[in-house]
Amino acid sequence: MISDVAPLGGQTIGKATDREEAWWLCQRYGLKPFPLEDPSDVELVGGDNGEKVWMVPCEHTEYPYDRAAFENRRRDALATLENGFPAWPAAEENGIAFQTFRQRLKRGWSAERAATEGVREISPNPDDEWEVVALENGLSVRAYRSRVQAGCPEAIAATMGLSWRSW
């Protein structure tokens, strides 16, 4: 059963199914739960409207100004999975970059699909000699092709470093 999570004496910050997830959520949002290594003090109590709430003893009851915790909370608020949990941690576990995840959501993808569908790999064309040179120079296939598409000659696109636009 999914229940709300709140630091002891604070407002609801998310949802969790068990005490470990509730403890982890407070840790992720920079509230510093007690004890720091063990979620044993987390309790499931009745809320104001009759629903159960995971109460986590934390050093902070309000959201602290911690940059990493702020980013986690902002990213977690973008989309939720069908089970009610934030989609960003799932995307992060699947190796999807945040910008890719956010663009997928802007294009209308479901949170589930945006967080779980892998990124497309572009396979190199072994018959394109300049593409082979680009790969040997440490340039990705995607970067090489985008340079050529932008109007850069193939020889320059494959051999120039990051300052290729000044040719």
71 and 82 in a single domain? The answer is: no
Give the pLDDT confidence score for residue 37 in this predicted structure: 80
How many independent structural domains does the chain possess? 3
86 and 109 in a single domain? The answer is: yes
Give the pLDDT confidence score for residue 2 in this predicted structure: 82
| Residue 39 pLDDT grade (very low, low, confident, very high; cuts 50, 70, 90) | confident
Q: Could you list the residue range(s) of the whole structural domain that residue 99 is in? A: 78-120
Beta strands 14-16 and 43-46, pairing class: unpaired
State mean pLDDT over 24-52.
82
37 and 70 in a single domain? The answer is: yes
113 and 148 in a single domain? The answer is: no
Q: Residues 76-124: pLDDT tens digits?
A: 888 988 888 889 888 988 888 888 999 999 999 999 999 999 877 788 8
Half-sphere exposure of 155 (CA within 13 A, CB side): 1
97 and 26 in a single domain? The answer is: no
17 and 41 in a single domain? The answer is: yes
Give the pLDDT confidence score for residue 112 in this predicted structure: 93
- Spell 26-53 as b/e; 16+ CB within 10 A means b: bbbbbbbbeeeeebeebeeeeeeeeeeb
86 and 58 in a single domain? The answer is: no
97 and 49 in a single domain? The answer is: no
pLDDT exceeds cutoff 80 at 13:
yes
- How many other C-beta atoms lie within 10 A of the C-beta of residue 58? 23
DSSP label of 26: H
44 and 105 in a single domain? The answer is: no
4 and 62 in a single domain? The answer is: yes
28 and 73 in a single domain? The answer is: yes
This prediction has a pTM of 0.55
- Which backbone phi and psi does 15 adopt, to 5 degrees? -135, 150
Please tell me which residue, 40 or 48, carries the higher pLDDT value: 40
6 and 69 in a single domain? The answer is: yes
